Amino acid sequence: MTINKTITLGEQQTLLVVKTTDFGVYLATSEDSNNKVLLPKSQVPEHTKVGDAINVFIYKDSEDRLIATTTTPKLMMGQVAKLNVKEVGNIGAFLDWGLAKDLFLPFKEQTDKVKQGEQALVTLYVDKSNRLCATMKVYEYLRKDSPYKKDDKVSGMVYEISEQFGAFVAVDEKFSALISRNELFRPVRVGQTIEARVASVKQDGKLDLSLREKAHVQMDKDAMIILNALNANNGFLPFHDKSAPDAIKEEFNLSKNAFKRALGRLMKENKIRQDEKGTYLL
Position 75 in a domain: no
Distance CA 31, CA 260 (A): 76
Per-chain mean pLDDT for the chain: 90
pLDDT for 47-64, tens place per residue? 999 999 999 999 998 888
Indicate if 34 and 89 belong to the same structural domain.
no
Domain-terminating residue out of 139, 162, 185: 139
Tens place of pLDDT for every residue, the chain, 282 residues? 788 888 999 999 999 999 999 999 999 998 777 889 999 999 999 999 999 999 999 999 888 889 999 999 999 999 999 999 999 999 999 999 999 899 999 999 999 999 999 999 999 999 998 999 999 999 999 999 999 999 999 999 999 999 999 999 999 999 999 999 888 878 899 999 999 999 999 999 999 998 876 655 566 777 788 888 888 888 888 988 888 888 888 888 777 777 888 888 788 888 888 888 888 888
Q: Where are the beta strands (DSSP E) in 97-152?
A: 103-106, 119-126, 132-135
Task: Domain count for the chain, please give it.
Answer: 4
Position 242 in a domain: yes
Indicate if 236 and 205 belong to the same structural domain.
no
**pLDDT value for 175:** 97
Position 1 in a domain: no
Indicate if 274 and 220 belong to the same structural domain.
yes
- The CATH code of the domain that includes 131 is 2.40.50.140
Count other Cβ atoms within 10 Å, centred on residue 210.
Answer: 19
Indicate if 221 and 274 belong to the same structural domain.
yes
**pLDDT value for 218:** 64
Indicate if 220 and 206 belong to the same structural domain.
no
The range of the structural domain enclosing residue 180 comes to: 143-210
User: pTM of the predicted model, to two decimals?
Assistant: 0.75
Distance CA 67, CA 7 (A): 11
Indicate if 130 and 149 belong to the same structural domain.
no
Indicate if 221 and 254 belong to the same structural domain.
yes
Position 259 in a domain: yes
Contact 197, 217 (CB under 8 A): no
Indicate if 130 and 166 belong to the same structural domain.
no
pLDDT for 185-237, tens place per residue? 788 999 999 999 999 999 999 999 988 766 555 667 777 888 888 888 888 88
Name which of 158, 60, 40 is nearest 103 in CA terms.
60
Position 3 in a domain: no
Name which of 258, 225, 156 is nearest 197 in CA terms.
156
Position 241 in a domain: yes
